[in-house]
Amino acid sequence: MFYKYDHESVKLIGRWGREPESAVTTATGGKIVIAFRGKAAVLHFDMLWNAPEYPHLWVMLDDGNKIETAVSMYLRVEAKKEGDHTVTVIYKGANENQHRWYRPLEGKIAFRGYDADEAGVLSYEEKPYFEIIGDSISEGVLIDPFYRPNEKWDTFNRPYQDDVTATYHYLTADALGLEPLVMGYGAVGMSHAGSGSVPRVGISYPYCYDGMKMTYDKEPEYILINHGANDWNAKTEDYLAWYGELLDMIYEMHPAAKVIALSAFCGNHHDALRDFIPRYNQENGKDVFFISSKGWVPLEPLHPLRDGHQIIANNLIAAMKERYGL
């Protein structure tokens, strides 16, 4: 029997737009959790407009080991025994230059639903939501730069080289018992648009993609901003004005959230942001938590590898534990 994406046996976590026939995300880290009864399930994806190299997924059965696969129209998952099972799918990585904002959407995951003997009863551990607003580093770009099936056109390699689940914020969320919600798009900054035609963050933040407003099933408790690496050529006063614009937008949408401003790992606008956050707090009656990442990782490579993300996570975990008692 076919169960649509909005069935009670399905949980969507992340930046998902609800279209009539499918749930669509263009941000890595989007998660699907499915409960089914029987031995096998067949997941259905809408592949219209998807283009090679196809986005990659992590797939887990019953909280087991992760298996990487490219998205396809039908994805079969089979257990050894009949019974109640859970499938978890995470959008791992994609070619960041494919269109991910304006239709037709090439770099998307569009989940239609699944086939199984019966729907299961979803039992999912609810965790506080931890939203991350960042760029290619938050997207997980070039964590594994060694895997290059196409030497000439490097962006085609990205599904093999990127992994959102190895990023500093995913590691932090795992260590602190939080659920990561990722808005990370390559080359996006406070000052300009980025890869895949994604607008600058002050325009794109309220949306999943063009015309599709962002809604979560519950409010994020923590929201972290890490922008600045792509704003190297922006005037400081413009960068801070756009930063304030984003903070205003976040508090308008999520007034109870604990907001964190994490400085760019490359050091861009570090001192200006450090001095700006106390002024913003005083003028607006807010409590944005500024964290300096100065010296955490070397300036090269710009995109940290797995060990670099772990170093960042270790520092972020310590800072959040001290501030919030996690």
The pLDDT tens digits for 83-102 are 999 999 999 999 999 999 99
- H or E element, residue 44: strand 31-45
If one counts every other C-beta atom within 10 angstroms of the C-beta of residue 288, the result is 20
**What is d(CA 155, CA 161) in angstroms, rounded to the nearest whole number?**
9
pTM for this prediction: 0.97
- Asked if 257 and 222 count as a contact pair (C-beta separation under 8 A), the reply is yes
In order of 22, 233, 268, 293, 301, the CA distances from 265 in angstroms are 37, 16, 8, 6, 11
Amino acid 125: pLDDT: 85
Instruction: Give the angle subtended at the CA of 189 by the CAs of 191 and 278, to the nearest 5°.
Output: 80
Instruction: Give the separation between CA 260 and CA 223, rounded to whole angstroms.
Output: 6
Residues in the chain with pLDDT < 50?
A: none
Task: Write the single-letter amino acid at 89.
Answer: V
Judge contact between 125 and 86, C-beta under 8 A: no
